[in-house]
A and B are shown apart, each in its own frame.
Chain A
Amino acid sequence: MPPQTFGKAINQALTQAMELSPDVMVLGQLVDYKSGVFGTTTGLVERFGPERVQDFPVSEGLMTSAAIGAALVGMRPVIVHQRIDFMMYSLDAIVNWLSLMRFKSNGHSNLPVTIRAIVGKGWGQGPQHSKSLHAWFAHLPGLKVAVPATAYDAKGLLLESIFGEDPVMIIEHRSLYSMTEDVPEAPYRVRFGHAHVRRRGKDVTLVAIGSMVPMALRAADQLASESIDVEVVDLRTLSPLDDGTVCESVSKTKRLVVADPAWRSVSVAAEIIALVSERLGDKLLANPQRICFPDSHTPMSAPLEKEYYPDEARMVQVVRKASLE
């Protein structure tokens, strides 16, 4: 099992999906250029041709609608957005058509459309390149949402999305792209609605999403040296959400911290805390905590940007406090 970067694992998933089925096509701005959207689509056009790997006009709304129409007649399109912010042009297509078609056709239409949307962070990405909007999309019925944290999950979730029957939004964090992990060569699946306990612990449950996962594991390592045993749950998919694994972990540790790389208010972190409180509120030994971004857009300036994003030290502090309460 060779080590692969997160970006290369995505590239491998796309290559294999296109080999497995002629119905798979990739649409997106600059997907057919050598740089290939941070390397994730590099080499595809040479291999599968411009009909299946298509650069797209600056028409994000149409791109999503075209993917919907193509899926209705039997294709399995994957669309790529260099930044999730640009995808906002396609909200009508996503909200009013993509997520709705199965429902309004009484289950007679299925739309296997996969949307890859990338979130930027660092090096002054600023307010229009760095939004983390996974909570918005997880709120919507009929759309599955994945936020992979590792190369293994990035490949497996992407393949599962392409060959699944429902529309999927995969939100990829750019800061994870060069992280490596052992990734199986064969096309494999990571199922939706299955969180993964990445570290076993008995003192506090730290639920982490996407880019917060590696940080959570490092924070847990640091806390272990203080004899605080942290259990780290990687949610992997937000819709459907694996509430079973989360609640099982919290029933054991009786303490909960959620690390969500998004704005604090009305966040997935808020949802996790709500669902745990509904079921286990009387069993908790400490108030649940969340580690999120301030309710503010992202600053470009480096010192402010550093303050804006929670770091490992802050995470350690919050988890330590929760575990001692």
Chain B
Amino acid sequence: MNHETILKMGRYRELSLKDADPGVVKNLHRFMLRLRRCEEALIAEYHPADEMKCPIHFCIGQEAVPAALSVVIKPEDYLFSHHRTHGFYLAKGGPMNSLFAEMYGKATGASGGLAGSQDLSMPSVNFCSGAILSGATALAVGAALGFQRQKKKHVAVAGFGDGASDEGVFWEGLNYAALHKLPIVFVCENNRYSTYSPQFKRMASENISERVATFGVTARTVFGNDVMACTSMLREMVEGARAGRGPYFLEAFTYRMNSHVGPEDDSYVGYRPKEEFDFWQQNCPISLLEERMVEQNLLSAPEKEKILKKINSEIAASFEFAKKSPFPGNAEWSKLNYSRGSPLADQLLKDCELKEFNQNQADTIPGPY
């Protein structure tokens, strides 16, 4: 599978609820709807009052992968994400209140207002993100190494885009993860663009997963707007990694509907064809799922209304929380950057009397090498 074949398939008909647990289906639907509404609400508020003074990379159109992860990973697993953070943050169970407060730079934000949308992290729910492309994929490799070393059955998941695979450290991490059979799942949301630059301008070979497979990593592709397919593949991969059969790589083909950063329509740049945009709009991951749910009597209009009402009131409460929260107080710069104490050093190390150094020793010029 690649973007070309996907674009040829028109309206996607394969999404199947066969054998699916209705409870899981409803969770996936609710997650995607909540994420979508949350992004739409942030967009509506983003410009008018200019109270959120930070760059936000919206993920409308890319809800399926975070939704799938939200039902297959456990609280003790660790999720590392790129700069398009909101979906992954919610997938890891990060609260909406602290997400919104972070956008407003408030002390109650996930990172106390210090990081903003693109560097959001919340250690208490094992979520970490960063704005600089593939760096987080390499961190995930280290977390997986730690889990393996500690003999814990936890999994590290790295969520990133096709652009991140342009960086060398991504391939270093893949090689190392394969070498040590680390419990890690690499999830590439291939939305075809690095900012405005399409994949074909950056890579001679479009299919990232084919290259990944040559590293000795189990690699598969999926239509990334089919939340059911994403879920079953990710479930298999996360369980496989947990059982020590990792690493795994999933390339999920999807698309962002807003501009690279900010809520605008950036079609004036002329970097993506209208037919392409229209194709993906017709294949919205939420409506694809809803269509099947309605067919199977898993969703009705009043039911959706009820879900939306609940989501909207949560969003309204989060805005209120964020807006009412205080800004961080006067900064103590050194406290923000360095730890106060060294409890473990206090416990394990001794204080010793310092002897004077013998100045008559000669330093040596190192021998060969």
**B204 sits at the interface (CB 8 A):** no
- B-side interface size class: 35 or more
Chain B nearest Cβ from A160, distance in angstroms = 6
Chain B nearest Cβ from A149, distance in angstroms = 7
**B228 sits at the interface (CB 8 A):** no
**B313 sits at the interface (CB 8 A):** no
Which residues from A are CB-within-8-Å of B365? 121-123, 175
**A108 sits at the interface (CB 8 A):** yes
Chain A nearest Cβ from B40, distance in angstroms = 27
**A204 sits at the interface (CB 8 A):** no
Do A73 and B172 form a contact, CB below 8 Å, given A61-B138, A105-B123, A188-B349? no
Which residues from A are CB-within-8-Å of B214? none
Contact call A72/B111, Cβ cutoff below 8 A: no
A-B contact count (CB 8 A): 230
**B145 sits at the interface (CB 8 A):** yes
Contact call B123/A73, Cβ cutoff below 8 A: no
**A278 sits at the interface (CB 8 A):** no
Give Cα A69 to B147, complex, Å. Answer: 10
Contact call A102/B366, Cβ cutoff below 8 A: no
Give Cα A120 to B214, complex, Å. Answer: 38
Do A65 and B146 form a contact, CB below 8 Å, given A105-B111, A106-B112? no
Q: Which of B139, B150, B173 has the most CB of A within 10 A?
A: B139
Contact call A141/B337, Cβ cutoff below 8 A: yes
Give Cα A186 to B348, complex, Å. Answer: 10
**A214 sits at the interface (CB 8 A):** yes
Contact call B123/A104, Cβ cutoff below 8 A: no
Contact call A218/B360, Cβ cutoff below 8 A: yes
Which residues from B are CB-within-8-Å of A175? 363-366
Contact call A179/B364, Cβ cutoff below 8 A: yes
Which residues from B are CB-within-8-Å of A72? 78, 123, 128, 139, 142-143, 146
Which residues from B are CB-within-8-Å of A188? 349-352
Which residues from B are CB-within-8-Å of A189? 345, 349-352
Contacting residues of chain A (74-112) with chain B, CB-CB under 8 angstroms: 74-75, 92-93, 96-97, 99, 101-110
Give Cα A122 to B342, complex, Å. Answer: 37
Residue of A nearest to B174 (CB): A62
Contact call A51/B149, Cβ cutoff below 8 A: yes
Binary contact readout A46-77 vs B (1 if CB under 8 angstroms, 0 otherwise)? 00000110001101011001111111111100
Give Cα A163 to B349, complex, Å. Answer: 8
**A242 sits at the interface (CB 8 A):** no
Give Cα A175 to B349, complex, Å. Answer: 28
Contact call A120/B139, Cβ cutoff below 8 A: no
Interface locus among B114-122, B194-202, B248-256, B301-309: B114-122
Contact call A97/B135, Cβ cutoff below 8 A: yes
Tally of contact residues, A, Cβ under 8 A? 83
Give Cα A109 to B130, complex, Å. Answer: 14
Which residues from B are CB-within-8-Å of A241? none
**A248 sits at the interface (CB 8 A):** no
Contact call B121/A105, Cβ cutoff below 8 A: yes
Residue of B nearest to A17 (CB): B348
Contact call A152/B172, Cβ cutoff below 8 A: no
Which residues from B are CB-within-8-Å of A234? 357
Contact call B143/A69, Cβ cutoff below 8 A: yes
Give Cα A289 to B343, complex, Å. Answer: 40
Residue of A nearest to B116 (CB): A104
Of A73, A96, A122, A240, the contact of B130 (CB 8 Å cutoff):
A96
Query: Could you give 23 example pairs across A and B, Cβ below 8 Å?
Result: A21-B348, A38-B366, A51-B149, A59-B172, A59-B175, A68-B142, A69-B142, A71-B142, A72-B143, A73-B154, A92-B132, A104-B115, A105-B111, A120-B366, A141-B337, A152-B355, A163-B344, A165-B339, A165-B342, A174-B366, A211-B363, A214-B362, A217-B357
Interface residues of A (CB under 8 A from B): 1, 20-21, 25, 38, 51-52, 56-57, 59, 61-62, 65-75, 92-93, 96-97, 99, 101-110, 120-123, 125, 141-142, 144, 149-150, 152, 156, 159-160, 163-166, 174-182, 184, 186-189, 196, 198-199, 211, 213-215, 217-218, 220-221, 234, 240
The list of the 4 closest CB pairs from A to B, nearest first, reads A69-B142, A217-B359, A65-B138, A106-B112
- Knowing that A102-B338, A105-B123 are A-B contacts, what are 7 other residue pairs whose CB atoms are under 8 Å apart, sorted by A's residue number? A57-B176, A59-B172, A66-B139, A69-B140, A106-B111, A122-B365, A179-B363
